[in-house]
């Protein structure tokens, strides 16, 4: 019997996700074993030291060392999980940014109660942003109208990405702490104002998924959702071209 079929996790759509799923199963397997072990031990103690069998309390305790050996085994197993699985995974994936030339780099900015996505445009350079330029309707990210690199930038309330190419995302917040949660990508990262926090993943499935905020951030927290749309390469490029054309028109109308 396949344990992963018996205890399924949410749909997986990222290249690294299976490693996280494996760690989740191993950790929960250990916790279940500990739960069963301690439950059996408690039942044994209740039976072994019942007052009918021991009307007088014993103050000498047990004289064996099997419990110490069990505790040492559990400690070694937990260290093995940390050193053998968690730290190598962090080092190879979280700490190591993708070095592929086809990486899609973008920014995601959280605010009460929405996500704003910022693409650098055809020049590959993000336009400068400043709070003095923020307009919630036409310029929610505060892109500087005097910066030439910002003229071709693309903004969107949803996250669009191509399949099979790494997405490198810089996360930040305009107000309070949020949490960027993509369950299907096995990505969850706190978003902290004043900090730019990177996350990256490689989508392996096309489709429409949901971005949620996993940190209570105010009365409208429940509605802080956005769409994650994974395209084929051709469809993603078509979407970029359409957005670039629309962005150029909006830029000229608003800033000129």
Distances in whole angstroms, Cα of residue 62 to Cα of each of 43, 45, 75 = 17, 12, 22
Mean pLDDT of the chain: 86
In this structure, are 144 and 210 located in the same domain? Answer: yes
Mean pLDDT, residues 227-237 = 95
- Structural domains of the chain, count: 2
Report strand pairing: 197-201 vs 167-173. antiparallel
In this structure, are 74 and 129 located in the same domain? Answer: no
Q: Is the pLDDT of residue 252 over 60?
A: no
Radius of gyration of the chain (CA): 26
In this structure, are 38 and 81 located in the same domain? Answer: yes
Looking at residue 4, its pLDDT comes to: 62
Residue 94, sorted as left (phi over 0), alpha (psi -120 to 50) or beta, turns out to be: alpha
Q: What is the pLDDT of residues 103-142, one digit of tens each?
A: 999 999 999 999 999 999 888 889 898 888 888 888 889 8
Domain limits for position 63: 3-94
Structure tokens at 7: 């205890």
Q: Is 201 helix (H, G, I), strand (E, B) or coil?
A: strand
Q: Which residue has the tokens 């899609």?
A: 104
CATH number (domain holding residue 132): 2.60.40.420
Phi, psi of 161, rounded to the nearest 5 degrees: -140, 155
Q: What is the pLDDT of residues 8-42, one digit of tens each?
A: 888 899 998 888 888 888 888 888 988 998 899 89
211 and 225 in contact (C-beta within 8 Å)?
A: yes
Q: Is the pLDDT of residue 239 over 70?
A: yes
Smallest CA-to-CA distance from 231 within 40, 23, 30, 13 is with 13
In this structure, are 89 and 111 located in the same domain? Answer: no
Sign of CA dihedral 10, 15, 180, 115: negative
Confidence of residue 1 (pLDDT cuts 50, 70, 90): very low
Looking at residue 12, its pLDDT comes to: 92
Q: Is 237 helix (H, G, I), strand (E, B) or coil?
A: helix
Does residue 99 belong to any structural domain of this protein?
A: no
Looking at residue 254, its pLDDT comes to: 53
- The residue out of 46, 68, 94 marking a domain boundary is 94
Q: Which residue has the tokens 């009918």?
A: 52
Looking at residue 208, its pLDDT comes to: 95
């Amino acid at each position: 019997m396949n344990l992963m079929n018996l205890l399924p996790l949410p749909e997986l759509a990222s290249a690294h996700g299976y490693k996280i799923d494996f760690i989740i199963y191993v950790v929960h397997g250990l916790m279940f074993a500990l739960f069963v072990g301690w439950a059996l031990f408690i039942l044994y103690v209740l039976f072994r030291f019942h007052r009918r069998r021991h009307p007088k309390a014993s103050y000498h305790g047990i004289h064996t060392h099997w419990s110490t050996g069990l505790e040492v085994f559990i400690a070694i197993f937990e260290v093995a999980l940390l050193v053998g699985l968690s730290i190598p995974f962090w080092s190879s994936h979280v700490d190591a940014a993708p070095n592929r030339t086809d990486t899609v780099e973008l920014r995601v900015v959280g605010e009460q109660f929405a996500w704003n996505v910022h693409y650098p445009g055809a020049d590959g350079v993000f336009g400068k942003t400043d709070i003095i330029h923020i307009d919630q309707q036409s310029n929610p990210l505060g892109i500087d109208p005097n910066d030439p690199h910002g003229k071709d930038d693309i903004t969107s309330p949803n996250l669009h990405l191509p399949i099979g190419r790494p997405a490198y995302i810089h996360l930040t917040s305009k107000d309070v702490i949020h949490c960027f949660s993509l369950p299907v990508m096995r990505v969850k990262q706190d978003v902290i104002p004043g900090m730019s926090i990177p996350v990256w993943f490689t989508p392996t499935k096309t489709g429409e998924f949901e971005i949620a905020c996993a940190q209570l951030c105010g009365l409208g927290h429940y509605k802080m959702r956005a769409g994650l749309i994974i395209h084929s390469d051709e469809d993603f490029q078509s979407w970029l071209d359409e957005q670039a054309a629309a962005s150029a028109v909006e830029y000229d109308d608003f800033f000129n």
